[in-house]
Structure 1
């Protein structure tokens, strides 16, 4: 509990600086992010953070604590957020949650994800379930997209797919329900494939 209080005391003392992070120079952004990570690591080295800055007149920024999908550290995330301070301009959230505007993805109106030299649209990705591990109650799936053959050796690719999946079904669902993820080139015949944005519905029906 002492480590939790130490982190939140530091956060409260620096919350205005952190809230203004988006307006800083890249050099200062890197410096501020370093100290957030440093102080968070004093509590637990295996968890990370994300900041969602306010849009459309909303005054609150969101500070998301993530275990990077590792269930061994879910309790540390929950304990930290459960003991977060009440700050007027901040919302504290445990885990990365599914995006709220999934309808845009389903309609094909989503903006593409850009990861260095990889550009992917969640609405264009499809999947197939290939195995169900009964002992752990998790699925093995293949995710298909058009340009896999071009990017198959790109080290950023797995991370990019992981981020998109977290946005679509959330961090906890991803690691509670998905065991292995394989990537493949989109075939010419896609009749048996399911859109990736329907993965959570598939999980709810299947598991």
Structure 2
């Protein structure tokens, strides 16, 4: 508890500097992020942070604490956020949360993910379950992509898919429910495939049954 209080005491003393980070020079931004990361590391070196800045200066700035999907440190994230102070214009969030743009994805109006040599939209991805392990309560899935043969066996593509899954499901749900991901080329007949945006609903159904 002492380490938690030490972190939040430092954060409260420096919250205005951190909130103004976006307006600083690149060098100053790097210095502030270094200090924040160092202070967070005193509490737990396995954790990282993300800062989401609002469109207007008067709106809330969000500090997200992430365990990078490592379940061994989920409790560390939860304990830290549960003891966060009440600060005006700040929101403190445990774990990277799922996207709130499901309607856009359903309508095919979602933004593209742009990676080196790869451009993907969540609305263009489908999946099928491969196996559900009752012991660990995790699901193996196969992800179907257009033009998969072009990027076949590239590490970047698999990393990209995990980023998309994390945005769709949220950090905690992804690593608690997904065990293995296999990639495949989208077949000509897709009637039996499931839209990727329905993955969380499928997970909830499997877990409930």
TM-score of the aligned structures, taking structure 1 as reference length:
0.92
The alignment partner of 2:192 has SS state of coil
Provide, for residues 94-136 of structure 1, a one-character-per-residue CA deviation record: whole Å limited to 9, x for no partner: 1111111211111111111223432211111111101111111
Change (3 A) 1:33 1:157: farther
Paired residue for 1:203?
A: 203
Q: CA deviation at 1:22?
A: 2.1
> 1:4-153, aligned counterparts within 5 Å?
4-55=4-55, 59-153=59-153
Counterpart-to-counterpart distance in 1, 2:138 and 2:128: 14
- CA RMSD after TM alignment: 1.8
What do the CA deviations read for 1:145-165 (whole angstroms, capped 9, x no partner)? Answer: 113333334433333222211
* Structure 2 length-normalised TM: 0.91
Give the SS at the match of 1:76.
Answer: helix
User: Closer, same or farther in 2 for the Cα pair 1:58/1:182, shift >3 Å?
Assistant: farther
SS at match of 2:69: coil
Unaligned segments of structure 2, at least 5 residues: none
| Structure 1: gaps spanning 5 or more residues | none
> For the residues of structure 1 that align with 2:194 and 2:179, how far apart are their CA atoms?
18
Match of 1:176 in 2: 176
Aligned pair count reads: 207
Structure 1, residues 178-204: CA drift from partner, whole Å, max 9, x if none?
111112222222222111101011111
* 3-state DSSP of counterpart to 1:187: coil
Distance change (3 Å), C-alpha of 1:22 and 1:158: farther
For residues 11-47 of structure 1, give each alpha carbon's deviation from its aligned partner in whole angstroms, at most 9, with x where no partner exists.
1122122112222333333332222222111111111
